[in-house]
A and B are shown apart, each in its own frame.
Chain A
Amino acid sequence: MEVTSQDFKKNAHIALHDAKLQRALGNLKAGFPGKRAAAIARLPEFDALRDQARDLKNHILAHLDLYLEEFENNVTAQGGTVHWCRTAEDARKTILEICRQQDAKTVTKGKSMVTEEIALNEYLEANGVTPVETDLGEYILQLRNDHPSHIVAPAIHLTLEDVAEAFHEHHQRPKSDDPAVLMQEAREMLRKQFVAADVGITGANFLIAETGSTIICTNEGNGDLTQTLPKTHIVVSSIEKVVPTLEDMTLFLRLLARSATGQEFTVYNTLSTGPRRTTDQDGPENFHVVLVDNGRSDMVGTELQEMLRCIRCSACMNHCPVYGAVGGQTYGWVYPGPMGSVLTPQMIGIENAGLLPNASTFCGKCEEVCPVRIPLPKLMRHWRDKEWEKHLTPGAARSGIGIWAFFAKRPALYRWLAQSSNLFLRLVGGKRGRVRKLPLAGGWTDYRDMPAPSGKTFMQQWQERK
């Protein structure tokens, strides 16, 4: 997919004025946070589980090479094959090669953000293999030639009307605006595809070292049909998803659904271990696991290592005021919201994604809700520092900070300036206590009044109370 992260400001402006998008985003804000809160209220151990999950992830990352080795050994022992891919390009080629070995015409796909990350669909299509997205949200997006705006609810930016139109155009059926009817249409359309596909591609929520298994957590059952019916199952995942044992996986499963959709448990939690056994009556004959690095191993041992704890629950974006205002596509690449603002610069370069870690109010809500306690604001600050070091920060911001630093280094002058502007704003604010227009602050005052300071400055109060 085309990267438009450089255009965040323009994208945001368009998104804020898009009434339909704003309505769609309302569905998100009205849904996920409340459902998560209700689920957590039923599990008093939730915070203790988060602490354990953070510590376990830290243990895994400190032993990442060894757990990956163990995982590979066990996949192989069960008759599967692990493919290691340093780059997105490696991964695309590896997957195409497996498809070609099977002489595959069509490939069904379960929902997988890693395949979005490596832009798999475009590549398969260009090489004569037709990918069919089977997750309802992803299916809608594929019909519309669109991309996910959310890592769990990919079509959250669309309205019922959008879906109705897309289905009407592609299904040649009477137009319906009943979500139940639309879902049944998709069910019928995709049923033939599930059966006809030569290869099924799914992602994985976790890789279990102990058993060489992969697990997907889904609500629709599309991932299960995708991996059970075709002759070949390809799991596309990334190296940080490995966990030691089934018990350790369980710790994360208790956190994942509750943090994501507020469900007690996802409907289908499915472990896959190797290809079908000789005595099995169904299931794939070939089992491949494609492990994508794509910049992750470079994060190990750096300040960004903490980001590798992420289990892709989406709680950070569901609670983010910026995401809630502009939606996922504004971020301009695969991973939106706070987790995306940390990951995207790593994957596509800070020179392309510098605006993302700046598009934050630093309210801290993302860190507060993260099930593995990733300090997202701290990591966004890390990228701001990098941007500054590389002289990528825009000139206006750079000179602004320079001016501020000039005064900050001269406390007497700083205090005098603070007191004078306090006084000035109070005069301008007058009886109303609000300022309508302020030079250089149009970004604020064009949309709302600036409250005028009503008391003394911090330093004045400090002096008085000392």
Chain B
Amino acid sequence: MSRAEIFNRIRTGLHIGADDQQRREAVQQRLQARAANLIPQRAQLPHDACIKLFIQMAEESAAELIELQHRSELAAAVEHWLSENGLTQLVMASDENLQDLQWSGNGALVREERVAEAGDEASLTNAFCGIAETGTLMLYSGPDSPTTLNFLPDNHLVALSASSIVGPYEEAWQKLRSTVGTELPRTVNMITGPSRSADIEQKLQMGAHGPRRLAIFLIREE
């Protein structure tokens, strides 16, 4: 049996005898401590500076940043973005953070809460948090946030609360564990800018298989 053979070979190679209590303790200790390794200075900033760095890094990754004062402005801003880009269709998550938005209902916008399908023009989801270090969004799957919304439509629109922005990735892991526990949801997505590829002659092209555009609606106050 492959499993026993592989483990045997590893243990033989490492000269492990019958008693390896010390090794087991070292491993359990590391697993339980979940200690951070070196965190770059760049990511250790006061919250205001983190927001600034997030914006800078997200724009560098070719994400579009739309700043809003209140969540109440979100629906109008999304409608505006879509109509400016000639889009009339939006699929969105049934996320509680996206409920009770003041949609104008004007115009031809068809808005549905469902999973994404091939051919969808645009999606709207709510980010769990933003990571300033590299301008990265963190989202995760759940009953109200299907993963296909993050990858299948041509345009991905994301609502992000400024208050949820953290400095380094490590803070995002802590925040995630304190929200969902130590058992992770099926998927956690870290997204930094829109899809791209440089596979043809190393020339960077935007919009490979994921969204061609990533628009982040950064909400300053809730």
Question: Chain A interface (Cβ within 8 Å of chain B)?
Answer: 24, 27-28, 30-31, 43-45, 48-49, 52, 56, 59, 62-68, 70, 77-78, 84-87, 90, 134-137, 140, 153-156, 158-160, 163, 179-180, 182-184, 186-187, 190-192, 194-195, 209-211, 213, 219-222, 224-225, 228-229, 239, 244-248, 250-251, 253-254, 261, 264-277, 279-283, 293, 297-302, 305
- Check A137/B199 contact, CB under 8 A, given A191-B118, A221-B209, A297-B6: yes
Nearest A-chain residue to B189, judged by Cβ: A270
- Check A219/B196 contact, CB under 8 A, given A28-B202, A45-B38, A183-B207: yes
Instruction: Enumerate chain B residues within 8 angstroms of A261, measured Cβ to Cβ.
Output: 198
Complex formed: what's the CA distance from A210 to B194 in Å? 30
Q: Judge whether B201 and A160 touch: CB under 8 Å.
A: yes
Complex formed: what's the CA distance from A244 to B200 in Å? 36
Q: Judge whether A267 and B195 touch: CB under 8 Å.
A: yes
- Check A301/B12 contact, CB under 8 A, given A31-B202, A224-B151, A280-B186: yes
| Smallest CB separation, A165 vs chain B (Å) | 12
- Check A24/B207 contact, CB under 8 A, given A265-B192, A274-B186: no
Q: Judge whether B142 and A160 touch: CB under 8 Å.
A: no
Complex formed: what's the CA distance from A281 to B95 in Å? 13
Complex formed: what's the CA distance from A411 to B195 in Å? 64
Given contacts A268-B210, A277-B185, list 13 more A-B pairs with CB under 8 A: A44-B41, A70-B31, A180-B205, A183-B205, A183-B207, A183-B208, A191-B118, A221-B208, A244-B30, A267-B195, A272-B187, A280-B146, A281-B115
Instruction: Enumerate chain B residues within 8 angstroms of A194, measured Cβ to Cβ.
Output: 118, 209
Complex formed: what's the CA distance from A318 to B60 in Å? 24
| Smallest CB separation, A413 vs chain B (Å) | 45
Complex formed: what's the CA distance from A440 to B66 in Å? 70
Instruction: Enumerate chain A residues within 8 angstroms of B38, measured Cβ to Cβ.
Output: 45, 48-49, 52, 251
Most A C-beta atoms less than 10 A away, residue of B114, B115, B201: B201
Nearest A-chain residue to B177, judged by Cβ: A246
Q: Judge whether A270 and B205 touch: CB under 8 Å.
A: no
| Smallest CB separation, A426 vs chain B (Å) | 46
Q: Which residues in window 205-222 of B have CB below 8 A to A?
A: 205, 207-211
Q: Pick the contact of B208: A48, A187, A250 (CB < 8 A).
A: A187
Instruction: Enumerate chain A residues within 8 angstroms of B16, measured Cβ to Cβ.
Output: 65
| Smallest CB separation, B148 vs chain A (Å) | 5
7 tightest A-B CB contacts, nearest first: A221-B210, A301-B13, A300-B13, A137-B199, A220-B208, A297-B9, A84-B3
Instruction: Enumerate chain A residues within 8 angstroms of B5, measured Cβ to Cβ.
Output: 86
Most B C-beta atoms less than 10 A away, residue of A27, A182, A273, A305: A273
Interface readout for B172-204 with A: 1 if CB under 8 Å, 0 if not?
A: 010000000011111111111111111111110
- Check A279/B142 contact, CB under 8 A, given A86-B5, A267-B192: yes
Q: Judge whether A43 and B184 touch: CB under 8 Å.
A: no
Q: Judge whether B189 and A268 touch: CB under 8 Å.
A: yes
- Check A273/B186 contact, CB under 8 A, given A250-B173, A283-B147: yes
Q: Pick the contact of A279: B23, B27, B31, B143 (CB < 8 A).
A: B143
| Smallest CB separation, B179 vs chain A (Å) | 14
B164 beta carbon closer than 8 Å to chain A:
no
Q: Judge whether B14 and A62 touch: CB under 8 Å.
A: yes
Interface readout for B73-89 with A: 1 if CB under 8 Å, 0 if not?
A: 00000000000000000
Q: Pick the contact of A268: B24, B118, B190 (CB < 8 A).
A: B190
Instruction: Enumerate chain A residues within 8 angstroms of B34, measured Cβ to Cβ.
Output: 210, 245-247
- Check A276/B37 contact, CB under 8 A, given A183-B200, A264-B192: no
Q: List 15 A-B contacts (CB under 8 A).
A: A136-B209, A153-B199, A156-B202, A160-B201, A179-B205, A220-B208, A221-B210, A225-B210, A228-B187, A251-B37, A267-B196, A268-B210, A271-B187, A276-B141, A280-B143
